[in-house]
Structure 1
Amino acid sequence: MTSHRPRDLRPHRGPHRRAIRVASVVGGLAALVAGAVVVVPLLRPPGPRPVFQLPVTCGETWRLSTYPGHDDYDVDLFPTTGEAWGRPVLASAAGTVTVAGINGSLGGRTPQDPDGPRGRGGGYWVTIDHGGKWETQYLHLLEPPLVAAGQRVARGDQLGRVGSTGSTGNSGAPHLHYEQRRGWEKVETHFDGVPSGITSDDREYTVRRTSVNCDPVGR
């Protein structure tokens, strides 16, 4: 009588398992590459500072101010002559708008009711990415920004108008709160390559600067 070994009915898994292992390795390498694509730009140092200009009309002279509790490097801009309400707010340099909307709450201060209730935060505001980890911010605009997130702007393009939305800190007057950031940290503002002189907020002080933010350039 001839004996027969029972046939193995289990599927042969050798090639299948190897394929799974290869796919896992490939997937892991792809994940590492994708992670490197995200991480490497974050580790790169900021690029050279753009030649920022004052974010106001060419030829106008403005007071750049700060006060205790304002935060280092924060700048409030007030015109030296005329009414601040509704003055054009211009891009300091070419870039891409990343934020255009409301920061915090608006409050109710308008040219018709300048003593209305204050809001909180930045009110209507705009943020521009200038590349090389450089960014500018424009706060307390009078009304919704004239630009939208994702829009490319040139230096001198109008972003909005000076107002008093959001919290205005120690100032109840309409003004433009402005910041320059390098690598997501605030730094001393420079205009036309010259430091503004607004650094610490240990005391209240002002400087005067005249805008040469003239023809829109650099799209």
Structure 2
Amino acid sequence: MFILPLSMAFAALQPLPPDGAPALNLPVDCIVGRSCLIQKLFDHDPGPGRRDYRCGQLTTNGHDGIDIRLRTMADMRAGFAVLAAAPGTVLRTRNGEPDVSVNNRGALDGRDAGNAVVIDHGGGWQTQYSHLRQASIAVRPGQRVSGGERIGLIGLSGNSEFPHLHFTVRHLGRAVDPFVGTAPLPPCNSEVRTTGLWTAVTAHSLGYEPSAVITGGLASAVPPKAVTDRDPPPMPNGRHAPLILWVDAIGARAGDYQAFSIAGPDGQIVHEQQSVVEGGGLSWFAYSGKRAPAAGWPAGRYTGRYVLKRENAIVARIETTAMIK
């Protein structure tokens, strides 16, 4: 499976760290846009709406942090480290919550953060790392940690539907967007962007990607929408079963154009469909396919391609392959 990251880099990026704030490194050991991606940003809308720091809608109402997610359950089992974003002292930890989707467990009883670590950086600044993997936390309260030190693994504990790190920054008890810091939010049409609380290297590596494909594949039936129910991901089931291309994506918008195509072993297109997205949303699940021909699909490798366009520009795409025997 090949997923092309289409990050939009910061325009006129300028360092502007607030006085006394820690310079934050990426709190996960992954490459954003490749092995992981940002599912949600900090919500700046004071009312019931939603607005991220770039005036987009890559967030949910009241979201007080950054969600950095993994694509599959297999990625979670492989183990992606959560790192201290800056030097500090560990204040609190929780390590015994199971890695179970919130949709499949009972009341959380105040344990929404799941397995978590809180680090104090001085000057009223703290960072919190939530939804870590059960029994993965490698630090203890009172321990001094360095920036970039491993503190746990990305997990699925607490109020979580997919494996991710919910990263929260607080100053004097108030949640702060690390992309902005304590400075006023820039106007939507501003060409000047700052690094916020991130180091310059981290800010450049993050960029802003309002739409992305999480994962996708070829299968014989439409798979469940929940990543926890696609473990392992479905595959084609022989030459006489239907062939379906499915995608799990972020940030599709009403009016976007999407195109599906499936090519056979000889490279010829065996199915294609184009449509305009209706509704869209922060989470977007789509699929297209067809029944097998009377003689069955020719054996060999099939290639599925999905493209999402906005105003004639490609904003997300995926290419995936599977064998039919």
TM over 0.5: yes
- Report deviation, 1:63: 1.8
Instruction: Supply the distance in 1 between the matched residues of 2:67 and 2:144 (Cα, whole angstroms).
Output: 25
* Cα 1:59–1:108 shift into 2, 3 Å: closer
Instruction: Give the match for residue 65 of structure 1.
Output: 39
Partner of 2:114, secondary structure, is strand
Question: Is 1:89–1:159's contact at 8 Å kept on the other side of the alignment?
Answer: yes
Instruction: Give the match for residue 54 of structure 1.
Output: 26
1:181 aligns with 2:170: yes
Question: Which of 101, 123, 127 is the aligned partner of 1:132?
Answer: 123
* Cα 1:167–1:58 shift into 2, 3 Å: closer
* Cα 1:197–1:124 shift into 2, 3 Å: same
Opposite residue 53 of structure 1, the aligned amino acid is N
**CA deviations over 1:79-138 (Å, ceiling 9, x no partner):** 469713431111000000001115xx935528xxx9852662111100000111111000
Gaps of 5+ in 2: 1-17, 41-58, 179-196, 210-280, 284-325
Instruction: Give the match for residue 282 of structure 2.
Output: 204
- Report deviation, 1:191: 2.4
Question: Is 2:99–2:134's contact at 8 Å kept on the other side of the alignment?
Answer: no
- Report deviation, 1:59: 4.9
Identity %: 30
Q: Which has the higher strand share?
A: 2
Q: Which has the higher helix share?
A: 1
Q: Give the root-mean-square deviation of aligned CA atoms.
A: 3.2
Instruction: Give the match for residue 159 of structure 1.
Output: 151
Instruction: Give the match for residue 14 of structure 1.
Output: none
Instruction: Supply the distance in 1 between the matched residues of 2:107 and 2:158 (Cα, whole angstroms).
Output: 4
| Of 93-102 and 81-90, the range deviating more from structure 2 | 81-90
With CA pairs under 8 Å and 6+ residues apart, which has the higher RCO, 1 or 2?
1
* Cα 1:83–1:58 shift into 2, 3 Å: closer
User: Which entry has the higher C-alpha Rg, 1 or 2?
Assistant: 1
Moved over 6 A (4+): 195-198
Question: Is 2:83–2:150's contact at 8 Å kept on the other side of the alignment?
Answer: yes
**CA deviations over 1:136-194 (Å, ceiling 9, x no partner):** 000011123211000000011111111111111xxx21111110111111111132244
**CA deviations over 1:2-48 (Å, ceiling 9, x no partner):** xxxxxxxxxxxxxxxxxxxxxxxxxxxxxxxxxxxxxxxxxxxx952
Gaps of 5+ in 1: 1-45, 206-219
Instruction: Give the match for residue 122 of structure 1.
Output: 113
* Cα 1:135–1:80 shift into 2, 3 Å: same
Opposite residue 174 of structure 2, the aligned amino acid is E
TM-score of the superposition, structure 1-length normalised? Answer: 0.57
Partner of 2:97, secondary structure, is strand
TM-score of the superposition, structure 2-length normalised? Answer: 0.39
Partner of 2:118, secondary structure, is strand
- Report deviation, 1:50: 1.1
Partner of 1:84, secondary structure, is helix
Matches within 5 A, 1:141-152: 141-144=132-135, 145-152=137-144
Instruction: Supply the distance in 2 between the matched residues of 1:182 and 1:49 (Cα, whole angstroms).
Output: 9
Instruction: Supply the distance in 2 between the matched residues of 1:119 and 1:176 (Cα, whole angstroms).
Output: 21
